[in-house]
Amino acid sequence: MTNPRQLAFIALRDVHKGAYADVALDRVLQKFNLPDRDRRLVTELVYGSVRRQRTLDTLIDQLAKKKSHQQPQDLRTILHLGFYQLRYQERIPASAAVNTTVQLAKENGFSGLTGFVNGLLRQYLRKAGEQGGRGAGGQRSRGAEEQGGRGAEEKDSLLLPHFDPLELPENPVERLGILHSFPDWIIQVWLEQLGLTDTEQLCEWMNQSPTIDLRINPLRTSIEEVEAALESVGILVRRIPHLPQALRFIGNTGSIQKLPGFKEGWWTVQDASAQLVGHLLDPQPGEVVIDACAAPGGKTTHIAELMADEGKIWACDRTASRLRKLQENSQRLNLQSIQIYTGDSRHFNQFQNTADRVLLDAPCSGLGTMHRHADARWRQTPESVRELSVLQRELLTHTSTFVKPGGVLVYATCTLHPAENEEVVSAFLADSPQWQIESPIDVELPDSTESTPQGWFKLWPHRQDMDGFFMVRLRKTNNSE
C-alpha cells in the first residue's frame, strides 16, 4: 500500500488516539518506501490536518447536520483530509481532492457514506462560488508545492473563489482562533502582548511549514566550505544576518543525513534563534559551563564549539534516552569537552559555586515553536503552563547556586508566554538580591528583536522569521556566596 492519502489517514488515526504527530508520521514513513514526492504529500497532509484541526472541525460543524464531535472519529479524519486539500493545497485540483476523499471513505469502512462525503465537500465548493473549483480562505502552506502539492501543470485553471464558506464570529479571540486554528487561550495570550494586527501575523507565520537551519562547526570547516559542498549537490542555502555559523536551507533537501558534511561533523541542524542563546551565554575557552537541561544537545554542542572545545561542559538532563542523542551528536561533531550527567538538575548539590557560566534552557510549553510541532497547540493548556512555570522557578532558583561569584546564567525558553518568561525571571530577581540582569553590548541580535527596558530579549517569529524565543543574561555579584 503506497497511496499517500491512505498513509496520511493511518497516521492521523494514531494521532487522534493520542500519538504525537511526528511519531505517528515517522512510523508510517519508515514502514513504506515512498518516492520523495509522496513522502512530502503524506507529511503535508498529516501536519496540515493536525494544525488546522479547529478550522476543519468548524467547517464540518457549519456544513453537516451532525457536529464534528458527533461524527465517527475515522470519518471525521477523512473529512479533515478532504477539507484540508480543498482549502489549503493550491496545487491539488479540487476534483482530485474530492474524489480521493470519497475513495478513502469507501476503503475505510464508510461505503454507505460516500454520498455524504462527496456532497459535503461539493457543498463547500458551491459556497465558495466555484463550479467544482478550489475552496477559499486561509493561507496556503509555505512550500506546498514542495511539501506535498502537485506539479504546476496540474494546477487548477478555474477562477479563484470570491467567497469564504467559513463563517466567523465577530469576537476577535474566537475569530482568530477559528480562522487560524488555535485554542482561544493562546490567542488571548498573544493579543495581550501584541495587539490584533501582530497576533494575526503571528498566527499566519505559525501555520507555515517550518524552514530548516543548520549551524556549521567552525572547528571542522568554514561556512564557505559548507556552502560549496551543498551547492555541488544542488542544495541551496542562504546566510542569516548576525549569526556567523548559520545557514538556512531553501527548498527541499531530501534526507538531511545524506547531505555532504553531515557524517563528517561539519554541521548540525539548529534553528537560528536557538543559536542566539549560545552567543548570549558567550562561553570562553577553558571555562566550566553547566547546561542544566541539555538534551537533545543542540545548545550544548554549540557551547563546545564557541569554547573551541577547551574547558569542561557538564551536560545534565533527567532523560537518559535524549542524552544518548546528545552523545551521538557530540561524537559526530568530534567534541571532547562535554561530560554527560543524568539526573534532575533541581536535586544536584555537587555543582555549587563551580561554574563560570550556566545555561538553563528550561522545559516549556513550546509556544514559540508550534510550526514545528503540529499538535503542540492542542496538547498545552493554561494548567500545563502553570505547572511548567513552577518547574521553571524551581530550576532557576537551584541552578543559580551552580554559578561562581561573578559568573553568568542565561535563562532561555522557546515559549512566548509571560508566565514562563518575564514572571519567572522577575520572581527570581525579587528573591535573589545578589543577581541582576546584564544587557550584553557585544551580542548582535536580529533586526526588530524586542529588547525591553528590563533587559530581556524576545524573538517574535513573524518579525524575525525564526522560532519564538525568550532569553535573558543574569550575573551573580562578586560578594555573594
Catalytic residues: 414
What are residue 470's DSSP bridge partners? 413, 458
CB 266 within 8 A of CB 255: no
Distance, in Å, from the CA atom of 202 to the CA atom of 357, rounded to the nearest integer, reads 33
Contacts 24+ apart (CB under 8 A), 378-384: 378/50, 378/53, 378/183, 380/186, 381/183, 381/185, 382/185
Length of the chain: 481
**Residue type for position 391:** L
CB 181 within 8 A of CB 52: yes
Distance, in Å, from the CA atom of 244 to the CA atom of 93, rounded to the nearest integer, reads 43
